[in-house]
A and B are shown apart, each in its own frame.
Chain A
Amino acid sequence: MDMTSAIIALAVALVMGIGTIGPALGQGNASAKALEGMARQPEVAGEIRTTLIIALAFMEALTIYALLIAFMLLMRM
């Protein structure tokens, strides 16, 4: 394994590792607040769930961008 591949492998690991921290925190926060809201007002649980899933998909997209970059880097290895 030459130097370039080693650096790319390290970069891929870092991209996925660091790239998932932010969205994970955000998703955890959003889900926690949504659960609180559902527990307090079970009658609007359905509406909260729909909004929550859309919000989660937005945050998920950030991780997906990191994943795409990771795949692109892997293909150059």
Chain B
Amino acid sequence: MEEAEVLFSIGGLEVTGHVTTMWAIMVVLVLIFFLATRKMEKVPGRFQCAAEYTVEGLLNYFSGIMGREQARRYFILLCTLFLFILFSNWSGILPLAGQFEGFKAPTSTLSVPVALALIAFFSTQYAGIREHGVVRYLKKFCSPIILMLPLNIIEELVRPLSLSLRLFGNIFGEEMVVVVLFSLVPYFVPSLMQMLGLLFGFIQAVVFTTLTAIYISSATAEAH
């Protein structure tokens, strides 16, 4: 894909528009949840209610996939991944996104989904090793017979690849379709596609976190 323009660099690390947007999303997320939980009350106000509803709903959803106990243990990772991906996907819909340097949807460049997928990958390995110990976890790769070892390793390594490509492809593809539609019909039609993009962004965030949850629960499951 084309190289992103470098805005400035900090100690040799190049900062692009995607990175600054990521910072903005982090600030927004922290601010929202800080303000929502600053004055916790027994009878929640509107703001606190919305935050509680989000967290409660996500916890129930993950409990349905991996069980209550596991869901609570890995909830911080899964919830953060979901909210961050959701806000990243939707930031591309905001007016002026991509119009000037320093404001681009982070998930529309390949490196951000790859980084997120690597986080999911290493968390899965960590969860498996913590649950079983190193030897028993590595033994799982040799089950049911030792001949399956290469296949199991390939399966494990393909997961982050497909995770990152799916997220990147959907968001990037949706943006490119909007651009092409905009050059064909400048009015109304692209906004319909953008509405569909809202749905896609939500579904991709759900799919990414659901798959991470499934991978973690399969890594921590008992060998059979």
Contacts and interface: CB of A to CB of B under 8 A. Distances in A.
Interface string B30-63: 0000000000000000000000000000000000
A3 interface: no
B165 A64 contact: yes
B170 interface: yes
B181 interface: no
Contacts of B111: none
Contacts of B206: 53-54
A60 B170 contact: yes
Interface string A42-77: 000000000001100110110011011001100100
Contacts of A53: 203, 206-207
The size bracket of the interface on B is: 10 to 19
Contacts of B2: 75
A64 B169 contact: yes
Q: DSSP class of A's interface residues: helix, strand, loop or mixed?
A: helix
A76 B207 CA distance: 32
Contacts of B165: 61, 64-65, 68
B176 A71 contact: yes
Contacts of B162: 61
Interface of A: 53-54, 57-58, 60-61, 64-65, 67-68, 71-72, 75
Interface of B: 1-2, 162, 165-166, 168-170, 172-173, 176, 203-204, 206-207, 210
6 A-B pairs with least C-beta separation: A64-B169, A61-B166, A57-B207, A67-B173, A68-B169, A64-B170
